[in-house]
A and B are shown apart, each in its own frame.
Chain A
């Protein structure tokens, strides 16, 4: 199969960027989107040109490293799919595909399609953990947790931190990411002692990074490769209100 690609090229963080057109041929339908880009890069290297920089690691949809905006959609047109799991059979032969980086002030472009998502790491560092003394692992069922609570916490914990929620949000808000991280801890007893401090610090850090407001469009949930619900954002707001009433203001 043959594709025409319109890809964002940018030499560095403060350099001007622009779209460049490429054509790739002999693409197998079962190839992933990233494998297609690998082939394009080999082609570019043979031609003595600069290959296109893009992020990837596990290439099996669990690490959260890959992430491109393909035809205007974070991780491409398929729901519940990361860019690395997206197959070329989902694009008709001869199609023109537009590829852009995740765009947000909080995600500065490093090069081409690679963006710096360490803002998300700083949100975690601000409070997305529980403070415990390390030692041997506790017994599995030492703390009884109802099945449905465990499931809900697990659904929130499925977040791989890829940043597609930010990329898809019309406001470039990181509310879904932050809410997922707050939720999976707030639902479990281990997360309760630090819950007020956690939500206040993580929300403050999220704002400091320059992400937008959540306007409840729900585009984040539609783009999330793990299908994390915006109901977690409602929970984050409950946690926030609770902290405003009871917790320390930090």
Chain B
């Protein structure tokens, strides 16, 4: 396989740096997003959640800058991920009849092998998700004399539909698998790893994945069973 001499960010090393940077940026967003969502657990009929959402929307241009950055990061992460996977397939066209791991220090797992599958599943989930909530029906409520969007009502309404609640939760399992390999791997791809950091980063990746995906997993199920419709 002959090709043009790659340079800078187009090299295999450069592309993985892009994967790592965009990946960590998206993880950072997930943490903020989850923190906001957890307000659903506050039993005040959605007051905190709606106020939080309203405050976010009041930032106006800043919110749009973040949205555009997120969209770019998301798309760049997907495109680069697909390019990386295609190259990897080309690099071994004749497969092994038998392929096994020696274990030991290997970090290979179904999570690491199926990054493209879990990644593409998340890529399908996100537009559906945004369309359902951010672009969903606009309910209005008045808090402290100020009219604002009743996003809480929309969330609870949707999660009262079993296919939405359990479908959403199922996708969070794919997210968990993606993050378990993705988080520590991002640091490794950015070169931010050494003998002392390695065990810490690997544990951090696993714990964060379970906390983030776990949070998003519990949310719809808890809402389905325990939160009354407003």
Contact = CB atoms under 8 A, between A and B. Distances in A.
Interface string A230-247: 110111111111001000
Contacts of B194: 231, 234
Given A72-B96, A172-B91, A207-B6, A234 B193 contact: yes
A240 B193 contact: no
B3 A210 contact: yes
Interface in B160-201: 181, 184-185, 188-195, 198
A203 B96 contact: no
**Interface size grouping (class) on chain A:** 35 or more
Given A103-B94, A208-B3, A234-B191, A217 B16 contact: no
B112 A213 contact: no
A100 interface: yes
Interface string A17-48: 00100000000000000000000000000000
A100 B94 CA distance: 11
Interface stretch (B64-72, B82-90, B218-226): B82-90
B159 to A, nearest CB: 35
A53 interface: no
Given A208-B6, A217-B112, A105 B189 contact: no
Interface in B82-127: 84, 87-88, 90-108, 112-113, 115
A223 B96 CA distance: 15
A210 B16 contact: no
Contacts of A71: 98, 100
A214 B103 contact: no
B12 A213 contact: yes
A59 interface: no
Interface in B1-42: 1-3, 5-9, 11-17
A235 B95 CA distance: 30
Interface residues of B, number: 52
Contact of B106 (A105, A212, A222, A236): A222
Given A105-B93, A173-B91, A237-B190, A204 B7 contact: yes
B136 to A, nearest CB: 36
A236 B193 CA distance: 11
Interface in A183-222: 200, 203-204, 206-208, 210-219, 221-222
Interface string A123-153: 0000000000000000000000000000000
Contacts of A73: 100-102
Contacts of A72: 96, 98-100
B95 A103 contact: yes
A175 interface: yes
A213 B88 contact: yes
B191 A238 contact: yes
Given A204-B11, A215-B115, A218-B108, A100 B91 contact: no
B6 to A, nearest CB: 5
A104 interface: yes
A180 interface: no
Given A231-B198, A236-B13, A170 B113 contact: yes
Given A79-B102, A222-B105, A104 B92 contact: yes
Central interface residue in B5, B84, B91, B198, by most chain A CB within 10 Å: B91
Contacts of B87: 171, 212-213
A71 B14 CA distance: 34
A83 interface: no
Interface of A: 6, 8, 19, 69, 71-73, 77, 79, 98, 100, 103-106, 168, 170-173, 175, 200, 203-204, 206-208, 210-219, 221-223, 229-231, 233-241, 244, 249
Would you list the 3 A-B pairs with minimal beta carbon distance, nearest first? A212-B91, A237-B191, A238-B191
16 contacts: A19-B97, A100-B96, A103-B96, A106-B1, A168-B102, A173-B88, A210-B2, A211-B91, A213-B16, A216-B107, A217-B107, A217-B113, A221-B105, A236-B13, A240-B17, A244-B9
